[in-house]
Amino acid sequence: MSRTVKLAAIPGDGIGPEVVAEALKVLRAATDGGEVDFDVTEFSLGAARFKATGDILTDSDLAAISTHDAILLGAVGGDPRDPELRGGIIERGLLLKLRFALDHYVNLRPTKVYPGVPSPLSDPGAVDFVVVREGTEGPYVGNGGSLRTGTPHEIANEVSVNTAYGVERVVRYAFELAAKRPAHKLTLVHKTNVLVFSGSLWQRTVDAVAVDYPTVAVDYQHVDAATIHLVANPSRFDVIVTDNLFGDILTDLAGAISGGIGLAASGNINPDGAFPSMFEPVHGSAPDIAGQQKADPTAAILSTALLLDHLGLLEAAARVTEAVEADIAARTTTVDGARSTTEIGDAIARRVSSILTPSSAR
Ligand SMILES: NC(=O)c1ccc[n+]([C@@H]2O[C@H](COP(=O)([O-])OP(=O)(O)OC[C@H]3O[C@@H](n4cnc5c(N)ncnc54)[C@H](O)[C@@H]3O)[C@@H](O)[C@H]2O)c1
Ligand SMILES: CC(C)[C@H](C(=O)O)[C@@H](O)C(=O)O
Ligand SMILES: [Mg+2]
């Protein structure tokens, strides 16, 4: 008897629906005829719904989403020039609200340079690291305000909140991950020379947790220097643990060095399993290319590999990754430019279907 997985799909805005359609296609190909059925419920949330109804994420939306085993999200947020959407109202009210409400304290963002991928790096072969970005604290919590707003004497504050509890749980997750990976290395990235209070908490926490992981080599880099090393010598990284904002910035850079943001996948994980985890491409809604079938759906497709992996469906996850690797290896600049979002999704889904599973090969 097959197991049913309840999946909430939130296609969102811009290119979100285009890439989610391809990700779902590949997910179905990877699990077709297998031991698991995906029961997908689509939630139409995002800028269009907000403009039509004034709702972003209601309590009942959240309650309904929470009943699922996992979430696949495309991208949210409209055109930043749209006055109705100023201040990241959708991003904060939908994406961050989900991450906070579902306690996604690990934002997992792996970076690998796949063979054949065009990368600006001189030695791309050795790049294989994971950014463990804290997902529920830092300057993202909305703790701040402005005084004398709109006057020449305005003072705007955005407070970065870092709790011992929040930092320790994400640091411990990062050490666990580093202990399982071949390189056994963890780098804390922060800005301890300027952000002395939060930096001290992060550094002390890493030092304390390191005692429990004697096989993991620990390193530290200031975030500005980390951007140099990510470009100049990225093979020095294995697991990077960092706060919410630094992790956001570093992972767009990581996407750019590893073949483009269209390949960068992520998981917003609740490791305790109390809430469904959410998988999404690192990129946004890309209003500049939305509706034109120009988006690369690979990041969304690789996010389904992370989703399958998280659900313990390791064989299906491996088939998706293998199919993506084969597709990327076959790409050339000309072919890539010529293929539509759907064509890339179709090609990867076909490859997934043609990869024999150990059970079907018997
Ligand atoms: N997780 C999310 O939902 C998420 C993430 C980032 C940004 N956003 C939101 O998306 C909107 C646009 O943000 P932005 O322009 O800063 O970032 P973006 O990631 O949407 O786009 C940056 C650049 O990358 C390109 N790009 C992005 N995804 C691509 C893909 N799959 N294939 C090919 N090219 C791709 C875009 O065309 C653009 O040139 C904003 O409202 C922002 O807040 C949402
Ligand atoms: C849209 C925005 C709130 C979001 C973030 O900053 O986390 C995005 O940039 C990301 O990387 O997922
Ligand atoms: Mg980002």
CB 156 within 8 A of CB 146: yes
What does the pLDDT look like over 213-249, one tens digit per residue? 999 999 999 999 999 999 999 999 999 999 999 999 9
Cα radius of gyration (the chain): 20
Residue 5, ligand 1, Cβ within 6 A: no
Characterize the bridge pairing of strands 155-161 and 36-42: unpaired
159 CB neighbour count, 10 Å cutoff: 11
Q: Nearest to residue 8, comparing CAs of 53, 50, 67? A: 67
**What is the CA(358)–ligand 2 centre distance, in A?**
38
Helix (H) or strand (E) holding 187: strand 185-190
* pLDDT at position 114: 86
Distance CA 79, CA 319 (A): 35
Q: Cα-flanking dihedrals φ and ψ of residue 155, to 5°?
A: -125, 115
Q: What domains does the chain contain, in order, with CATH numbers?
A: 1-106+261-362 (3.40.718.10), 120-257 (3.40.718.10)
What does the pLDDT look like over 129-164, one tens digit per residue? 999 999 999 999 999 999 999 999 999 999 999 999
* pLDDT at position 337: 57
111 pairs with which residues across the strands?
Answer: 129
* pLDDT at position 357: 62
- The pTM score is 0.96
Which positions ≥6 away from 90 have C-beta within 8 Å? 13, 46, 47, 50, 56, 76, 77, 78
Catalytic residue among 105, 191, 238, 243: 191
Mean pLDDT of the chain: 94
Residue 327, ligand 1, Cβ within 6 A: no
Distance CA 324, CA 317 (A): 11
Q: Residue 154 class from Cβ within 10 Å (0-12 exposed, 13-18 middle, 19+ buried)? A: exposed
Distance CA 201, CA 289 (A): 41
What does the pLDDT look like over 49-106, one tens digit per residue? 999 999 999 999 999 999 999 999 999 998 888 999 998 999 999 999 999 999 999 9
**What is the CA(282)–ligand 3 centre distance, in A?**
6
Question: Candidates 248, 266, 282: which one to mutate for ligand 2, based on the most atoms within 8 Å of Cβ?
Answer: 248
CB 276 within 8 A of CB 69: yes
Atom 11 (ligand 2) nearest CA: 248
* Residue 185 bears catalytic tag: no
Atom 5 (ligand 2) nearest CA: 248
Which positions ≥6 away from 72 have C-beta within 8 Å? 7, 8, 9, 10, 20, 23, 24, 27, 278, 279, 280, 300, 303, 304, 307
Question: Candidates 90, 285, 339: which one to mutate for ligand 1, based on the most atoms within 8 Å of Cβ?
Answer: 285
